[in-house]
Structure 1
Amino acid sequence: MFGFRGGESADVVRRKRAHMVEAQARWPFLTHFDASTLKNDRKLVTMVKERCSWSQKDAESDVRQWMEGKVF
């Protein structure tokens, strides 16, 4: 999701980095290491659910709302 795979264009790297910064602003518990290990939105939902003590539905809704219009 936010991790860099190598061989990606500078635009892709910039976009992923910007998304990571936005995610860390929205969820302050999200460390750089956490973000760089997230492979997909389901992992982000799980992390938000566990660290915020939210229901699955609330975490999914929050992540879905944040991801709206973003390209990874």
Structure 2
Amino acid sequence: MNGTEQAVREALAEVGNLDEDVTTLAADASLADAGLTSHAAVSLLLEIEDRLGIEFPPERMTPATMASIGAIVAEIEALS
């Protein structure tokens, strides 16, 4: 697990309110199936931006971006 994935998992644990343990959740597991709501997804994006000092462009804030931990990490890496 790289530092970006670790930061995403920590943010998810803090604000995601998931039904599953974020430490054991597979990177490709559906966050919606794990209990991530649209409200929590917005909070998660804001938390990730704060933690990593990045900003998601509005056009990249899509359901596909928030589909899984892996999708979020890929989007962050694409922004770098």
Range class of TM-score, shorter chain = 0.3 to 0.5
Tell me which protein shows more helix as a share of its residues: 1
State which structure, 1 or 2, has the greater radius of gyration over its C-alpha atoms: 1
Give me the TM-score of the superposition, normalised by structure 2.
Answer: 0.37
Give me the TM-score of the superposition, normalised by structure 1.
Answer: 0.39
